[in-house]
C-alpha cells in the first residue's frame, strides 16, 4: 500500500505508529532537541524543525502528510507551542504537504500555550484552540481524552483543502473503509447519549477553571513524586507524570533488557495502581526513552489518591535493588507486543 512512504511527526503515539507501519509506511519521530537531551524547555513536545526540513528536502516526494501530536504523549506528555505549529505549517505550505494533528489533548496544549507563550498570554483558550486548528488540514482525536467522554473518536478533514482537491476520491474511500470496518455512518457508531456527552465535554474542556484544576493536579502529583526523590521527567506534562526507568534503576543490576518498567507496573497492580510502561518494552530495546507513564484520568481523583500512588512508587524505589526482572514468556516478538505479552517476574 504505502511502500516507500514516510510520515514524520513530533512523536507518533504507539498505536498511531503501529497503524502507519501496518500500512507499509515508515513512521518517523522528529523529537525536539530539548526532549532528546533532557533540557527543561517550555515546549519540549515541539517538532524538531531541522529534522523535518531534512526529511522534506531529501525525501519530500515520499511524504504524504505531516502529523503532529498535541500534546506529545510519547515524548513525555510535553506541549507544543503555537509558534512551532506555525513553523511546521509554513514548511508544509512550502513543500505542499497536508498537516494533520493528532489532537487528543488539544485543550491541555492550549492551556500550556496560554501560560507559557508570551504572545498568547492575553488570549482565551477558545481563541488559542482556534489559532491551532486554523493551521491544519485535518485531525484525528480520541474523544476519551479531551472530549471528556467515555468513548468515541473522530477523523475530520477540512472542506476543500488541497488534499481533497487533489484526491477527489479520498473522502469516498474513507467512507468505504468505514463501512467495511465499522458500519455505515447512519448506523450510529455511538449512542445519542454518547454524542451528547462529547458535545458537553468539548464545551467543558476549554474552560479555564477545568483546565487549571486538571493541569495543577498533575503538576502537584509530579512535584510530590520529585520531592520523594523519584526521577520524573521535567517539566511535568499536562496529563501524566513520566518516570525515567534508566534513572530509577541506576546503580542496580537491572539492565534495560530486564524490563524493570514492566516489573514496577506489575507489582503496583497489587496495590490497585495501573501505570503503563512506555519504554524499551513498548518501543524496542533501542528506544531513546525508557519511561513509565503515570497518566491521571480526568475528573476522577482527589490529590490524596495521587499521593497514595506516589507513596507506593516510593516504597518500590526504596527497594529498587531487590525488584525482580520481567522475563517475557509469551509474545516478545509479536507486533504490538506491549498490548499482548505475558511475563514472569524472576528475582
Ligand X SMILES: *Cc1c(COP(=O)(O)O)cnc(C)c1O
Under the rule (CB under 6 A), what is the footprint of ligand X? 13, 15-16, 69, 73, 102, 104, 142, 144-145, 153
CA 114 to CA 208: how far, in whole Å?
A: 10
Please, what is the minimum distance in Å from the beta carbon of residue 151 to ligand X? 8
> Could you say which DSSP state residue 288 is in?
S
- Whether the CB-CB separation of 99 and 65 falls below 8 Å is answered with yes
Q: Where does residue 182 fall: left (phi above 0), alpha (psi -120 to 50 degrees), or beta otherwise?
A: alpha
Residue 300 or 322: the one with the smaller Cβ distance to ligand X is: 300
Smallest distance, ligand X to C-beta of residue 295, A: 9
Please, which residue, 224 or 291, has the CB nearer to ligand X? 291
Residue with smaller CB distance to ligand X, 67 or 224? 67
> In 3-state terms, what secondary structure has residue 175?
helix
Task: Give the CB-nearest residue to ligand X.
Answer: 142
In the complex with ligand X, which residue's Cβ is closer, 144 or 337? 144
Instruction: Assess whether the previous peptide bond of 128 is cis (omega < 30° from 0).
Output: no
* Cα Rg, the chain, nearest whole Å: 21
Please state the three-class secondary structure of 246-311 as a single string. Answer: HHHCCCCCCCHHHCHHHHHHHHHHCCCCCCEEECHHHHCCCCCCCEEEEECCCCCCCHHHHHHHHH
Q: How far apart are CB 189 and ligand X at their closest, in Å?
A: 13
Q: Tell me if 24 sits within 8 A of 42, measured CB to CB.
A: no
Q: How far is the CB of 102 from ligand X (least distance, A)?
A: 5
**Residue 5 or 73: which CB sits closer to ligand X?**
73
If the CB atoms of residues 35 and 104 are measured against ligand X, the closer one turns out to be 104
Amino acid at each position: 500500500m504505502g511502500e516507500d512512504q514516510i510520515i514524520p511527526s513530533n512523536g507518533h503515539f504507539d498505536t498511531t505508529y503501529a497503524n502507519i507501519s501496518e500500512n507499509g509506511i515508515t513512521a518517523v519521530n522528529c523529537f525536539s532537541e530539548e526532549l532528546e537531551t533532557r533540557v527543561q524547555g517550555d515546549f519540549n513536545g515541539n517538532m524538531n524543525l531541522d529534522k523535518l526540513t531534512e526529511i522534506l528536502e531529501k525525501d519530500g516526494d515520499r511524504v504524504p502528510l505531516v502529523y503532529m501530536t498535541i500534546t506529545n504523549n510519547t515524548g513525555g506528555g510535553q506541549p507544543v507551542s503555537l509558534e512551532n505549529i506555525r513553523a511546521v505549517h509554513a514548511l508544509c505550505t512550502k513543500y505542499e504537504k497536508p498537516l494533520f494533528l493528532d489532537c487528543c489533548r488539544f485543550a491541555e496544549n492550549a492551556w500550556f500555550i496560554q501560560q507559557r507563550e508570551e504572545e498568547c498570554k492575553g488570549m482565551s483558550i477558545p481563541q488559542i484552540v482556534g489559532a491551532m486548528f486554523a493551521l491544519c488540514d485535518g485531525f484525528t482525536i480520541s474523544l476519551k481524552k479531551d472530549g471528556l467522554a467515555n468513548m468515541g473518536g473522530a477523523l475530520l478533514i477540512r472542506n476543500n483543502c488541497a488534499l481533497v482537491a487533489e484526491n477527489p476520491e479520498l473522502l469516498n474511500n474513507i467512507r468505504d473503509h468505514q463501512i467495511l470496518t465499522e458500519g455505515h455512518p447512519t448506523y450510529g457508531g455511538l449512542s445519542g447519549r454518547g454524542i451528547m456527552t462529547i458535545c458537553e465535554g468539548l464545551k467543558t474542556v476549554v474552560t479555564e477553571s477545568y483546565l487549571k484544576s486538571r493541569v495543577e493536579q498533575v503538576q502537584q502529583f509530579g512535584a510530590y513524586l520529585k520531592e520523594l526523590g523519584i526521577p520524573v521527567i521535567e517539566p511535568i506534562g499536562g496529563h501524566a507524570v513520566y518516570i525515567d526507568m534508566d534513572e530509577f534503576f541506576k546503580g542496580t543490576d537491572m539492565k534495560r533488557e530486564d524490563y524493570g518498567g514492566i516489573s514496577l507496573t506489575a507489582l503496583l497492580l497489587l496495590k490497585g495502581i495501573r501505570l503503563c510502561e512506555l519504554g524499551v518494552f513498548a518501543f524496542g530495546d533501542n528506544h531513546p526513552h525508557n519511561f513509565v507513564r503515570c497518566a491521571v484520568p480526568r475528573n476522577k481523583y482527589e490529590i490524596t489518591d495521587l499521593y497514595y500512588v506516589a507513596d507506593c512508587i516510593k516504597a518500590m524505589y526504596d527497594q529498587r535493588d531487590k525488584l525482580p526482572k520481567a522475563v517475557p514468556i509469551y509474545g516478545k516478538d509479536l507486533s504490538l507486543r506491549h498490548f499482548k505479552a505475558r511475563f514472569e517476574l524472576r528475582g
